[in-house]
Structure 1
Amino acid sequence: MAASPVRSLVAAAMVAAAATAIAPPAHADIAVSPQQQNWVFRDDAGRQITLRGFNVSGSTKLYENDLLPFRSTADAAKSAQAMRDLTGANAIRFLISWEGVQPAPDRIDYAYLDRAIAQIKAFTDRGIRVLLDYHQDLYSSHLFNSGSWYTGDGAPAWVIDAGDYPKESCGICIMWGQNMQTNAAVREAAYDFWRNRVLSTPAGQIGVQDAYLAQAKATMTYLKQKLHQPAFENILGLDPFNEPFDGGLDGKSGLDWEKTYLMPFYQRVRTTMDQAGWTAKPTFAEPLVFWNTGFFEQGGMTTVGQLGTRMVFNTHYYDGARMTLDPSAASDGTYDSAMNEIRQRAADLGTTPLVSEFGNKMSDDRTPWMVRAMYQAMDYGVPGKNWWSSPASGGQVLSALQWHWDIYSGRHHELMNGNPNKVQTTGDGWNDEDHSVAATDNAGNVTLRLDRRILDRLYPSAVNGETLAFAFEDLARSGYGATGQQKAWLTPPSSMPTVTTLLQNRQYGILVWRSSGTTTPTDLHLPNSFAPAETAVVSDITTLTSVPANGQIAATPEPGSSTAKRLQLTTQDNAVHFALVVNTATGTPPTTTQLTAARTELATWLTQKFPTN
């Protein structure tokens, strides 16, 4: 992208930087990059932040869990520790329920919020940032009858009782999401919410959207009061409405609906956040749910004007075609177009993007490489076979939170719509979904259900300066349980013979960045497969056959973990740097001569590909 001058911000939107349980975290502003016209997450040292992690969790939709992600604080702590240790995640989307917060029109359930706060602290105490998500699907479970094929979550029973909605029916639906298009009860309830219909309740006449905002304010105010300062600083912000759907367009387009109903709602949310003391935290605003899914390509916020730095463009990505009709597998570059559209839309809106949901069902034998391809496209937006020839065209590294992380996967006991004859035990325990990448084994240990190489990735968690290019070759297999094909997607050119030989059949990542002139290190999460003693680094800073625990290039513990590592690169200039990080646990160990020759090839490549930097 074209260069733009550095601009300073006042009262910019905030994210929280990494923290340990004993040291308070730093703030992180959304700041403008000096070499790009897109906004990025930055910490108070000016480092560019990438958020990676998971949603916790779909169990919030279940009454067996009391509408919370975990059944106990101990389970939350076990889950948080496993996530940090097994994947190096630095962020989660933490689901809560409107029904859980406000079970009656005149009552806030502070005991529910206390349990949520205790679970949130299990993550913030381990240096994991938390995006608070008010989750809904199909608006409310109380719209569905005990014999229904489907169920929902979100709005409390008193809202539905006051709405007097018709008997629900999806018709001929092969996926639960079709209820948003065909179920009259679901559509009418959503229609009322966006128009703030006044309901007659036991507490009097109440506008339904007014009630929602009032309880959200109470929640945010209470969290700010009850979370100690380091924990509150690790709260990213608020996702106020999961997957908004219209409920009725009144003959207009999805873009019209976003402008007329969705954006005014987000503006009301923004005001409510300010009133609750969340001024320094952004609203994570989602577009109309049908945008960028392969079907129903409506919305995308192209007519709402600039979001600016107090809102984040917060979108989901699911491959609607492959989830329904398309039988093809994913491969190198499959999702570049979709992720580049997210990058561009955020730039057009004047803010930074977050992909707060993505993934696929675990019963699909294509899922391992579908998820791999999604991560690849979020790391860089060109096919791996082309990246080395045009690295700068890969675009920014997208922050992303996968759907989802449920330690109770396959061990649920949910009465679907309260029906004792429809007990849900398999998968996610909700609408026959099975997306969780985590589960608990018979010994009580949290385990991964996808190849760890897909989930535990090298990524630039904090770059001191400006990321110019990044790529990662994970070599993850195409099947479950370390089965299936292994194939490299990120392939160096024949013009770099030493680099090509060094990288053959090996995991590796490469970062190109312009440092800021300070000594704050650049951090990359180092996957478990990259043991420091068997990791080579080829960089203009220095070249190493193994990574020590200190120095200009060092492997140090990830905050909150005794096993996960981060690679720290320290410079003190305003120059462009490169670092090639190679897992050398397999193959012939590289020699110093080989690494020196590779460094020469990379230096030439850098000059050719970044001539003005």
Structure 2
Amino acid sequence: MSAALLAMAGVSAVTAPPAKAADPAGVIVVSPDEQNWVFRDGDGREVTLRGFNVSGSTKLYENDLLPFRSAADAAESAQAMRDLTGANAIRFLISWEGVQPAPDRIDHAYLDRAIAQIRAFTDRGFRVLLDYHQDLYSSHLFNEGSWYTGDGAPEWVIEAGDYPKESCGICLLWGQNMQTNAAVREAAYDFWRNRVLTTSAGPIGVQDAFITQAKATMSYLEQRLPRQAFDSIVGFDPFNEPFDGGLDGGSGLDWEKAYLMPFYQRFRTAMDESGWAAKPAFVEPLVFWNTGFFEQGGMSSIGRLGTRMVFNSHYYDGARMTLDPSPASDGTYAAPMNEIRRRATELGTAPFISEFGNKLDDDRTPWMIRAMYQAMDHGVPGRTWWNEPADGGTVLSAIQWHWDIYHDRHHELMNGNPRKVQTDGDGWNDENHSVVAVDDEGDVTLRLDRRVLDRLYPAAVNGDTLAFAFEDLARSGYGGAGQQQAWLTVPSSLPAVADLVGGRQFGVLAWKGSATEAPTDLHLPGSFAPAGTTVVSDLGALSGLPASGPIKATREPGSSSAHRLQLTPAGDSAAAVHFALVVNTTTGSPVTPAQLAAARAELSSWATSHFPAG
């Protein structure tokens, strides 16, 4: 661990050797598929991005409005994330206040620190989505005795706005401030309408100021990041969780069309003028869309987005976060995840989920997160997946909220109040979402069952994904406690497959081939040791993965311990249909050649019936 983290844990610092730099992740683009829109890399492979937000610490002044207190902490965190979860992407938060502390100044030192932290991830093979983060518009709207706080806009913007005294009234959730807090609402209203503020640098439109500093930020990053690191930046999220501040009698769809999309178009132009023309903007709809409450918005009134913008949604279960006491189970989140898939298809672009999760002091959370991942893998329940695998839809790229190595070790003065020092959880608004913490030995440890977070997923498919599903067998409690229950049920029509996977973790990928020779890559969870992993595929069937050949295990780029499965059909074509069953057979009876042959015959027939070639 870094000296800073070790010191926090009360452990003497030990200098760790630098991690070996990974091969660059490379540029990805938005590409139309036969039925869906997807991300593709330089080899034309269909890419799935999975990882975590880094982090809510950007909201904290103790962190100087950055995810990490040092580049060393970022490097240690990146290495742990790669090794423990196999993540290949992060959403990296930055702050408008950090970039532009005064109306006539860009803080290049702040950007230099951000660059060093970004490189800690790109050097280890991560792709990075940059995010201008805000919550309730600005911390400077809140008084030091408030129940809540915000982040985003600089103090000079709020001072020039001369907003009323903030008060949420009787608010049980921070999000209610968007509906009832006059200061928060008026400030947001002014931003979308580009109110001209009188500042020390003269009159400035507030949205103009934001676009100007964003352009300066992007130009600086393009100039200062090494080319391979810049290529690993997938794009920019212009504005986290946009909220209207006042609809003036219209609907959320009206507001998105009249105010949100013109802002996104301005940001898109700024990207083009700053050397970011080849990267998409990851644009979010009105904040409460698809949460179970306040279902305004969804961008259905704005026309098609195309390849230069990505439909970027968040997903939180508003009902279970408030009134619904029921647990999550197989298929719970298929409908909201399918709504994200459907809306992206209507908009003519790729879907992306840049936040999802739940608080980690809820007994239901482990299986809520499990069910969210399941629905992002496939949009049908596991109990019916084998009978209708093609109905599962696109494998969704998604970034979980969040990864905070300072969890329970914060020291944040809430709204600058020395009598309200936030130390627990995320150090912000009593939130508790981080999936990691640092233990007393200074090691980054997972707070959820590793089987929830370290998942088999198709990181890069050479061709077109036809169907994917994963049975993680994650337990219902924390720390591996609680109930274990299989959700991906193999039907009686596949007895050999059912015999092979019974009581074991396994995943299934079906894909249409490609004329190129690049491999199809799946991340292997840590529980899938190469020597104990069985693969049954049209490419062959074997128990124990070699280091070479058409079916092989190799080290994940940038990782000291994680592996990936690589599948490379010989003489592939775009008409060919492939399948692979991947099973964790490190425990249980040894797999026999007869079992492999029987399972392969069943899977071949299953694939032919559901995915005819041609």
Q: TM-score range by the shorter chain?
A: over 0.9
1:538-584 Cα distance to aligned partner (Å, 9 max, x none) = 00101001101111000001100120100000013121000000000
Which residue number in structure 2 is paired with residue 152 of structure 1?
150
- Assess if the C-alpha contact under 8 Å between 2:160 and 2:199 holds in 1: yes
SS of the residue 1:27 aligns to: coil
Tell me how far apart the structure 2 counterparts of residues 499 and 367 of structure 1 sit (CA, whole Å): 31
Which residue number in structure 1 is paired with residue 131 of structure 2?
133
Q: Does 1:397 align with 2:395?
A: yes
Tell me how far apart the structure 2 counterparts of residues 100 and 568 of structure 1 sit (CA, whole Å): 42
Q: Output aligned runs, 1:199-348, within 5 Å.
A: 199-348=197-346
**Which AA in structure 2 matches 1:248?**
G
Tell me how far apart the structure 2 counterparts of residues 325 and 553 of structure 1 sit (CA, whole Å): 48
SS of the residue 1:103 aligns to: coil
Q: Does 1:475 align with 2:476?
A: no
Which residue number in structure 1 is paired with residue 9 of structure 2?
none
Q: Residue 21 of structure 1: CA displacement?
A: 2.7
Tell me how far apart the structure 2 counterparts of residues 477 and 162 of structure 1 sit (CA, whole Å): 52
SS of the residue 2:608 aligns to: helix
Change (3 A) 1:272 1:162: same
Tell me how far apart the structure 1 counterparts of residues 54 and 590 of structure 2 sit (CA, whole Å): 40
Tell me how far apart the structure 1 counterparts of residues 25 and 87 of structure 2 sit (CA, whole Å): 16
**Which AA in structure 2 matches 1:167?**
K
**Which AA in structure 1 matches 2:578?**
H
**Which AA in structure 1 matches 2:343?**
R
**Which AA in structure 1 matches 2:466?**
L
Which residue number in structure 2 is paired with residue 578 of structure 1?
579
Q: Residue 436 of structure 1: CA displacement?
A: 0.3
Tell me how far apart the structure 2 counterparts of residues 604 and 385 of structure 1 sit (CA, whole Å): 20
Tell me how far apart the structure 2 counterparts of residues 590 and 493 of structure 1 sit (CA, whole Å): 20
Which residue number in structure 1 is paired with residue 488 of structure 2?
490
SS of the residue 1:107 aligns to: coil
Which residue number in structure 1 is paired with residue 115 of structure 2?
117
Which residue number in structure 2 is paired with residue 596 of structure 1?
597
List, as ranges, runs of 4+ consecutive aligned residues in structure 1 with deviation greater than 2 Å. 19-29
Q: Output aligned runs, 1:509-520, within 5 Å.
A: 509-520=507-518
1:127-161 Cα distance to aligned partner (Å, 9 max, x none) = 00110000000000000000000000000000000
- Assess if the C-alpha contact under 8 Å between 1:307 and 1:350 holds in 2: yes
Q: Residue 205 of structure 1: CA displacement?
A: 0.1
- Assess if the C-alpha contact under 8 Å between 1:127 and 1:559 holds in 2: yes
Tell me how far apart the structure 2 counterparts of residues 318 and 462 of structure 1 sit (CA, whole Å): 27
Tell me how far apart the structure 2 counterparts of residues 611 and 39 of structure 1 sit (CA, whole Å): 21
Which residue number in structure 2 is paired with residue 555 of structure 1?
553
Give ranges in structure 1 of 5+ residues lacking alignment: 1-18
Tell me how far apart the structure 2 counterparts of residues 26 and 82 of structure 1 sit (CA, whole Å): 22
1:152-176 Cα distance to aligned partner (Å, 9 max, x none) = 0000000000000000000111111
**Which AA in structure 1 matches 2:114?**
A
Which residue number in structure 2 is paired with residue 441 of structure 1?
439
**361, 367, 370: which is aligned to 1:369?**
367
**Which AA in structure 2 matches 1:308?**
G
**93, 100, 103: which is aligned to 1:105?**
103
**Which AA in structure 1 matches 2:584?**
N
SS of the residue 1:217 aligns to: helix
Q: Residue 518 of structure 1: CA displacement?
A: 1.8
Tell me how far apart the structure 2 counterparts of residues 146 and 497 of structure 1 sit (CA, whole Å): 64
1:85-109 Cα distance to aligned partner (Å, 9 max, x none) = 0000000000000000000000000
Tell me how far apart the structure 2 counterparts of residues 184 and 531 of structure 1 sit (CA, whole Å): 56
Which residue number in structure 2 is paired with residue 76 of structure 1?
74
Q: Residue 611 of structure 1: CA displacement?
A: 3.0
Which residue number in structure 2 is paired with residue 3 of structure 1?
none
Tell me how far apart the structure 2 counterparts of residues 249 and 97 of structure 1 sit (CA, whole Å): 26
Give ranges in structure 2 of 5+ residues lacking alignment: 1-18
- Assess if the C-alpha contact under 8 Å between 2:457 and 2:522 holds in 1: yes
Tell me how far apart the structure 1 counterparts of residues 313 and 602 of structure 2 sit (CA, whole Å): 39
Q: Residue 221 of structure 1: CA displacement?
A: 0.4
Q: Residue 25 of structure 1: CA displacement?
A: 4.2
Which residue number in structure 1 is paired with residue 160 of structure 2?
162
582-591 or 58-67, larger mean C-alpha shift: 582-591
**Which AA in structure 1 matches 2:89?**
A
Tell me how far apart the structure 1 counterparts of residues 22 and 484 of structure 2 sit (CA, whole Å): 42
**83, 86, 99: which is aligned to 2:84?**
86
SS of the residue 1:113 aligns to: helix
Which residue number in structure 2 is paired with residue 31 of structure 1?
31
- Assess if the C-alpha contact under 8 Å between 2:24 and 2:123 holds in 1: no
- Assess if the C-alpha contact under 8 Å between 1:24 and 1:229 holds in 2: no
Tell me how far apart the structure 2 counterparts of residues 157 and 44 of structure 1 sit (CA, whole Å): 42
Q: Percent of counterpart pairs with the same letter?
A: 76
Tell me how far apart the structure 1 counterparts of residues 337 and 236 of structure 2 sit (CA, whole Å): 23
Q: Does 1:461 align with 2:459?
A: yes
Q: Residue 263 of structure 1: CA displacement?
A: 0.2
- Coordinate RMSD, CA, aligned: 1.0
**26, 44, 47: which is aligned to 1:46?**
44
1:287-324 Cα distance to aligned partner (Å, 9 max, x none) = 00010000000000000000111000000000000000
**Which AA in structure 1 matches 2:49?**
L
Q: Residue 586 of structure 1: CA displacement?
A: 1.8
SS of the residue 2:223 aligns to: helix
Tell me how far apart the structure 1 counterparts of residues 501 and 171 of structure 2 sit (CA, whole Å): 48
**Which AA in structure 2 matches 1:539?**
S
- Assess if the C-alpha contact under 8 Å between 1:91 and 1:128 holds in 2: yes
Which residue number in structure 2 is paired with residue 14 of structure 1?
none
**Which AA in structure 2 matches 1:573?**
D
Change (3 A) 1:368 1:22: closer
- Assess if the C-alpha contact under 8 Å between 1:56 and 1:95 holds in 2: yes
- Assess if the C-alpha contact under 8 Å between 1:330 and 1:370 holds in 2: yes
Q: Residue 519 of structure 1: CA displacement?
A: 1.5
- Assess if the C-alpha contact under 8 Å between 1:20 and 1:127 holds in 2: no
- Assess if the C-alpha contact under 8 Å between 1:20 and 1:559 holds in 2: no
**183, 186, 205: which is aligned to 1:185?**
183
Q: Residue 339 of structure 1: CA displacement?
A: 0.2
Which residue number in structure 1 is paired with residue 65 of structure 2?
67
1:242-296 Cα distance to aligned partner (Å, 9 max, x none) = 0000000000000000000000000000000001110000000000001000000
Tell me how far apart the structure 1 counterparts of residues 234 and 531 of structure 2 sit (CA, whole Å): 35
Count of paired positions: 593
Q: Residue 39 of structure 1: CA displacement?
A: 1.1
Q: Does 1:431 align with 2:429?
A: yes
Q: Residue 30 of structure 1: CA displacement?
A: 1.6
Which residue number in structure 1 is paired with residue 5 of structure 2?
none
- Assess if the C-alpha contact under 8 Å between 1:186 and 1:247 holds in 2: yes
- Assess if the C-alpha contact under 8 Å between 2:22 and 2:557 holds in 1: no
Tell me how far apart the structure 2 counterparts of residues 264 and 205 of structure 1 sit (CA, whole Å): 22
Q: Residue 22 of structure 1: CA displacement?
A: 6.0
- Assess if the C-alpha contact under 8 Å between 1:533 and 1:546 holds in 2: yes
Tell me how far apart the structure 2 counterparts of residues 260 and 460 of structure 1 sit (CA, whole Å): 38
- Assess if the C-alpha contact under 8 Å between 1:240 and 1:269 holds in 2: yes
Tell me how far apart the structure 1 counterparts of residues 550 and 111 of structure 2 sit (CA, whole Å): 44
- Assess if the C-alpha contact under 8 Å between 2:53 and 2:402 holds in 1: yes
- TM-score normalised by length of structure 2: 0.96
1:105-138 Cα distance to aligned partner (Å, 9 max, x none) = 0000000000000000000000001100000000
